[in-house]
Structure 1
Amino acid sequence: MPKRHTRHMSSDSGPLHRRTIPISVHIFSGFFYAPFYAPQLTQFIVTITMYSTYQRPAGYQPRQQPQGEEDRRPAHRRTVDHGSAFGKWHLDRLSGRTIQPANMRSEQSYIVDLLPPSAYTNINGSLRSTNPHITSVAATPAKFIQVALNKVRHPVYSATWTPDGRRLLTGSMSGEFTLWNGMTFNFESIMQAHESGVRSLKYSHSGEWLLSGDHEGNVKFWQPSLNCVNVIDKAHRESIRELAFAPSDHKFVTGSDDGLLKIWDFHESSNAESVLKGHGWDVKSVDWHSELGLIVSGSKDNLIKLWDPRSAKNVNTFHGFKNTVMKTTFQPTGTKRLLAAGCRDRTCRILDLRMLNSGSSEAGPTAGTDMPTRGDRSMAVLRGHDSDVFSLTWHPTHANVVTSGTKTGSIYTFNVDTTPAGGAYGPDSGILPVNTIPSAHDYCVSTLDYHPEGHVLCSGGLDRMTRFWARPRPGDPTSFRDKYYEPKEEGVSVKTLPGVNNATSRAGMARVEHVSTQHFNTAQPEVTDDEPVSIPGFAR
């Protein structure tokens, strides 16, 4: 038997130092042969005691901890789980308990009583609360939750939630699709979808298809698994600004900077079915009504046009905008008879489709001003923006809540059921925001989209970031003490907005004071019989 050689260390070489070194050993059965497999032994710690003659050099000093580092704690990833709120709401409905949102106490412990936004909406035509401000505050995304950043950052042009609400899909200037988790907001996947910037993303009503349009005028068809199945090369000569599906999902419409709108058959998309001509400049926005046979478009020629998709003719035109109309969108819930438009004149306007007539196709005596014309007399103006409006979206469950984003990175939330300040038709008439986030982004807010349940808002901007916002906890004092609520050097501060009770609107789920409200439509004159409605598919 060979003799084992050992080295004895004498005290002449220096004092002995005992060091205990923890070593983490992982066992993977696929890496080497093992006669047995024990899942509980996937990791264990081996402690090895070593002796050496190592001595610290003279003048050695331990690392000094920088000032303030002792107060630095690891950042926690915030998670917005709406499952408990839906579970409580379901149990309340089964037990027949009445939901009273006005009795929510301004204490964080009462978050257990916070229900999803859809719990505070109308049921069978009856309001849960007599104060419309309560429902709007219950749906206001005022609390910053998380920011999503790609490894290689590019401006975010478009964003949309998947139909099931589990993920968020964003399109960037580089042509990439990025998937983010809808609950923890962490990165999931990325792929190169287009060769140029993704300008528009739109899911079908059934959720079975996704359309995307890019800066070069191409349209791509995607399955929910993001498998591309069809491409329309050069659908337009210039950038495609927006797409919209028909209610049946068999057709869709595209709007482009070439000034044209094109209607396509989803199954036979080799050539456009019809071309809608009438705008004199770039088409910036387009939407297809979910019930009526109606298409709306906004353009750089300061006009909004309504189109009949069957005859490809213009049926109505709105004047009175001072600058480019950047966003037009129909009301997705409620009566579905309202139209919201965001313009670069620092205003948004709400139009009632039930009060339109053929006389609005010509410019009235007050065209180009804030005064509504004879054909646009159902107009309500949303004021208080600090710069041009670039993005706009309706709340998916609250039909009276509208959120807008501006060029300077601010986000505003409005309740269109409030009485306009300055009178119904005064020169300074307008609805003021119920909540403002003045520093939501560093640059322009290019896209806004609500979660299908309405409890989370996503905003994408040209500052290359995607941010998530949610409702604050009841009485949470830290909800509005972050950098996003610090007013910018240029622009309007939240505290200086006239007529806005910021202490009330910022209270989130806390206490809401009673405000005398009246739906703006009820204050408008009646439509007489000599002013026929010329909207196809709509019977008065």
Structure 2
Amino acid sequence: MSGLSRRNHEAESELEKKLQQRRTVDYFTPIGKYMITKNVYNRRRRRALPIGSIRPAASYVTDLPPSLISSPSIVDLSSKFVHISTNKSKHAIHAVKWTPDARRVLVSSYSGEFTLWNGLTFNFESIMQAHDVPIFSLEYSHSGKWLISGDMSGCIKFWQPNFNNVNILSKAHENTVGELAFSPNDSKFLSCSDDQTLKVWDFSTATEECTLKGHHWDVKGCDWHSSLGLVVSGSKDNLVKLWDPRDGTCITTLHDFKHTVSKTVFQKGGNERLLAACSRDHSTRIFDLRMLRAVSVIKSDKETDLTSLAWHPIHSTMLSIGGYDGSLSHYDVSKTADIEAFSRSAPKPELNGDKVPGSASKSGGSNVSDYLLNTYVNRGAPIVSEAWHSIPYAHDRAIYTMEYHPLGHMLCTAGADKSMRFWCRARPGDDAGFNDAAHLGAAAANVAKIDDAKEDNGAESKGNHGNSTEGNALPGFSIPGFS
């Protein structure tokens, strides 16, 4: 290798080193320990004021504070790619769950295996053969003492947190168990299957209490409300049904979708009165349980099927949606228009044709746009097509499942591309945070990295040779106007 080619090779290697971005996750920062120690009380004296402690070092400051309800929700947006984790034997992933201690991620694969990944360093920890057939559902109890899983053959297994198998319901369903959900007090759990039924089980005795029948095709998703005696299900027959789990009666049926309902999830925080459901008709609808109708419709900007969704555990109005094309989008439900907010001021349309929608009424009412007026007249839900933040290339294929960390600072997604990916909050002022393959695509990301490297290299050379002349002129001998 000649001297020139060696220098070029070294320059390219230096460029590659500069292109590497530091992956950071604000997980268990020292500020948490400081917040605890500053409120320590003197145990020797009763009714004493807290002793407290001063900040021991400058490192006890974090750029990103913990996720709080009082903080703006835009701060806690999981928009930056952190890490990708894959097994040696790659299989599609249909369910992921954070363990009760929130330190690890449990993954169930199409091969019937349980895989544990560390939630801080993202390294592999353990693997075991849990089922003989593909696993499609996982659910931890609210107390964190039990785990249940369902597979393609209709079998449901009971596990302890150390993955000791204690019970098996070999014929719980006649077909694939699509999803599982525990009741608020963990005494019962719900299962849905492709055999067109849902079943309510007594957890302590492992016996079936009632069967919910009413769907005419595969039941793809279900959920149990965290504080109400209410169960929801979504099916391949385009229907969303609300059930009473005590006697198994159907309360109401929602006919808003035009294709398979992929996922149905109750709101986890706030007033817990919203229901989100996504479908393969390219839409996600937000239903108000008090009115039993849709209050917002989220349309996919890429006209793609929607396969998964998840509510943020801290900010009750933040919703994340995964698509069949591998895209990941975040929405703020509170930013959507509300029909009741403008119903009083909305002008009524004139029957004689003198007035057109959007013009001022004779009574002097305020003007509203055609969009809002038509929404009010048709009693339909406002349509939202622009995401708060969109990651178009989050996965190479469909996203089947996603799960937020209980603290709300990290999101885990997995799907048909046989990989699991972690997303965290971006650092403030990080210009290169979104110049990656997830946001730009692989080809565009490589071009962006090369351009940034050239700019950095050019800035360095300009700084090192600020007084040098261009071309072949010798330093110090250039004549102004002739060089």
Alignment of 1:174-323 (within 5 A): 174-269=111-206, 271-323=207-259
> 1:81: which partner in 2?
27
In structure 2, how many angstroms separate the alpha carbons of the residues matched to 1:154 and 1:186?
18
Residue aligning to 1:112:
62
CA distance change for structure 1 residues 146 and 85 in 2, over 3 Å: closer, same or farther?
Answer: farther
What secondary structure is seen at the aligned counterpart in 2 of 1:264?
Answer: strand
SS at structure 1 position matched to 2:228: coil
3-state DSSP of counterpart to 1:180 = strand
TM-score for the superposition, normalised by structure 1: 0.66
1:397 corresponds in structure 2 to: 314
Q: Do the aligned partners of 1:405 and 1:411 also contact (CA within 8 Å) in 2? A: yes
Structure 1 residue 82, shift from structure 2 partner: 3.3
Indicate the residue corresponding to 1:125 in structure 2.
none
CA distance in 2: counterparts of 1:194 and 1:306, whole angstroms: 31
What TM-score, normalized by structure 2, do the two folds share?
A: 0.74
Equivalent of residue 461 in structure 1, options 415, 435, 445: 415
* Amino acid corresponding to residue 403 of structure 2 in structure 1: D
In the alignment, the residues of structure 2 paired with residue 382 and residue 424 of structure 1 have an alpha-carbon distance, to the nearest angstrom, of 19
8 Å contact kept, 1:385–1:406: no
The answer to whether the 8 A contact 1:407-1:445 is kept is yes
Seen in structure 2, the aligned counterparts of structure 1 residues 246 and 425 have a Cα distance that, compared at 3 Å, is farther
Partner in structure 2 of residue 360 of structure 1: none
- Following the alignment from structure 2 to structure 1, what is the Cα–Cα distance between the partners of residues 113 and 61? 38
Aligned CA distance change for structure 1 residues 157 and 66 (closer, same or farther; 3 Å)? farther
Residue deviations 1:397-429 (CA, integer Å, cap 9, x gap): 110100010000000100000034943863793
State the distance in 1 between where 2:421 and 2:90 align: 14
Aligned mates of 1:353, 1:477 — CA distance in 2 = 41
Shift of 1:385: 4.1
Contact 1:110/1:474 (CA < 8 Å) preserved in 2? no
| Letter of the 1:195 counterpart | D
**Structure 1: gaps spanning 5 or more residues:** 1-58, 95-108, 123-127, 129-134, 357-375, 490-540
CA contact (8 A) 1:261 1:277 kept: yes
Are residues 1:154 and 2:70 paired?
no
Partner of 2:211, secondary structure, is strand
CA contact (8 A) 1:80 1:184 kept: no
**Does the Cα contact within 8 Å between 2:148 and 2:156 map onto a contact in 1?**
yes
Q: Which residue of 2 aligns with 1:382?
A: 298
Instruction: Read off the aligned partner of 2:62 and give its amino acid letter.
Output: V
Number of equivalenced pairs: 382
Match of 1:423 in 2: 372
Percent identity of paired positions between Structure 1 and Structure 2 = 46
Residue type of the alignment partner of 1:479: G
Amino acid at match of 1:481: N
CA contact (8 A) 1:89 1:115 kept: no
- What secondary structure is seen at the aligned counterpart in 1 of 2:290? helix
Mapped to 2, the partners of 1:110 and 1:408 lie a distance apart of 41
Output the CA distance in 2 between the equivalents of 1:488 and 1:257: 37
C-alpha contact 1:347 1:385 (8 A) present in aligned 2? no
1:438 maps onto 2:392 in alignment: yes
Residue 114 of structure 1 and its aligned partner are, at CA, apart by 1.9
How many angstroms apart in 1 are the aligned matches of 2:240 and 2:287?
11
Tell me which structure has the larger Cα radius of gyration. Answer: 1
Deviations 1:53-101 (A, max 9, x none): xxxxxx9x9x97994345444897755423335346668999xxxxxxx
Q: Deviations over 1:487-535 (max 9, x none)?
A: 699xxxxxxxxxxxxxxxxxxxxxxxxxxxxxxxxxxxxxxxxxxxxxx
Match of 2:55 in 1: none
Q: Is the 8 A contact 2:336 2:382 kept in 1?
A: no
Greater CA drift, 79-88 or 458-467: 79-88
Give the Å deviation of 1:384.
Answer: 3.4
**251, 273, 290: which one pairs with 1:354?**
290
- Give unmatched runs, 5+ long, in structure 2: 41-58, 339-370, 444-483
The 3 A distance-change label for structure 1 pair 285 and 188 is same
Aligned: 1:329 with 2:265? yes
CA contact (8 A) 1:385 1:412 kept: no
